[in-house]
Amino acid sequence: MASMSTCITVIPTCGLPRRLLSFTPKQPISLPCVIGGVPKRVWDSRVLVARPGGAVESDKLPSDVRKRTMDAVDGCGGRVTIGDVASRAGLNLNQAQKALQALAADADGFLEVSGEGDVLYVFPKDYRSRLGAKSFRIKAEPFFEKAKAAGEYLIRVSFGTALIASIVIVYTTIIALVTSSRSEEDNRGRRGGRSYDSGFTFYFNPVDLFWYWDPYYYRRRRLQADDDKMNFIESVFSFVFGDGDPNQGIEEERWKLIGQYIASNGGVVAAEELAPYLDIDSTEGIKDDESYILPVLLRFDGQPDVDEEGNILYRFPSLQRTASQKSKRKEYVGRRWADWVGIEKFFKEKKWQFSKTGTPERAMVIGLGGLNLFGVIILGTMLKDMAVAPSSFIKFVADIFPLLQIYAGSFFAIPLVRWFFIRKKNADIEKRNKARQQCAQVLELPDTSLRQKLFSARDMAQKTVIGQDQIVYSTDKDLLEQEYEAREWDKKFRELERSD
């Protein structure tokens, strides 16, 4: 028991609850140097959560990491381990630990320690409101998100509005040049009451533009039209620039799937089980080369293990211990392989679309874009051959004519470049999806060696739910209440040693 007599001193820190801060022990409180196999340095770094200077630690976290961590905490009922958050949120263990420590410090959460040395983070039900009360950044984020959405909408409608404005300017200038080239006698005749008909009619209602610029216009239109239809102004931007990356945020979903699959299978998996979720070149070298699993090992702190048959399996200790009995997904530990496949058969990327606009909207956009390009070509010729002194309006149009040319040319050049880019992008996506699908098919009908490997992984699987009866220390209680005297600790560890 020489090692059991070595002690550390617990000093209250500013990251601990107020009740613990208000308690000043008459003498140092001694805790064993080794707690359930957890070294002293791990105990120090994981249990003593400090918040120096009263700073809002949550503001130092990236917004997406903080949000994903909070969603995971809510999904687990407010009582979590680092592995719970890592598997549910798709974060690596280091990110999950830092996020939990920051949130616990700011939201008046507390820590619990089990007899095995597992550290649990417990949050009050109103921890979100507590965070919002302390952090200006969290309060302001919804406003910034709304401003960002308004800015994106402004850009979308600006490009479509520019098309209408360009057509109006170009053809108004053409009409003005045609009329100005008439003889002075014809001009006097027009002033006398005769009207000149250019043969060109362009109908434009300014009231429509007002509705197009209304950010809520599309919501009202959806009451009268199909949900997947766009208004004309939005369809112009969609045709030229597309509708964004369809796989935005998909990496987050990928790591969530992987983390939840590992956790639901008891923290021990074969490399072939994760292949349908990863990017691999082909399925030919999967059995011999398992290097594709390295990113998973690094993210979730996995380690290789060998079964009795000499098969290499991968164990993730942090994902084997959980504080939550809630689970949105079915558990597969100890089941037949036919029942194991079920979370998602394989990770599928979405293909890019050229545009989400319907055929009528696209035809209208192409028609108006062609009309604008034709008008710019005609106007350029007329400006070069202009024989009369230009008016102030025509001079203004001549000055901005290069911009009109760039707009008219890019209106078709950008979609053409995008079309080639999308073809290449979709070909790569199809290749990756096909490789992952083939890996999933191998799992659905495994050969004898793979089946034995999978059964071995299930036999080695472990999952421990840490209940309240296993908690031996909590920062939510005063130290005296928990009776952490040296003889009590010695008694507990003697019992642990005898059980081992």
pLDDT, tens only, 395-445: 899 899 999 999 999 999 999 999 999 999 999 999 999 989 888 888 888
Q: What is the tens place of the pLDDT at every residue in 65-105? A: 999 999 999 998 889 999 999 999 999 999 999 999 999 98
Whether the model pTM is above 0.85: no
> Confidence band (pLDDT; 50, 70, 90) for 447?
confident
Q: Indicate the range of 36-45, 404-413, 432-441, 465-474 predicted with least confidence.
A: 36-45
Which of the residue ranges 144-153, 220-229, 424-433, 484-493 would you say has the lowest mean pLDDT? 220-229
- Identity of the residue numbered 257: L
Q: What is the pLDDT of residues 291-303, one digit of tens each?
A: 889 999 999 999 9
Among 32-41, 132-141, 317-326, 369-378, name the one with the lowest average pLDDT: 32-41
| Mean pLDDT across 214-233 | 51
* Domains, the chain: 2-134+479-499 (1.10.10.10), 151-323+330-466 (no CATH)
Question: By the 8 A CB rule, do 231 and 217 touch?
Answer: yes
pLDDT tier at 344, thresholds 50, 70, 90: low
Residue 489: what pLDDT? 55
pLDDT digits (tens, 9 = 90+) for 324-334: 765 444 444 43
CB 118 within 8 A of CB 321: yes
More confident residue, 471 or 3: 471
* Percent share of the chain, pLDDT over 70: 68
pLDDT at position 135 is: 83
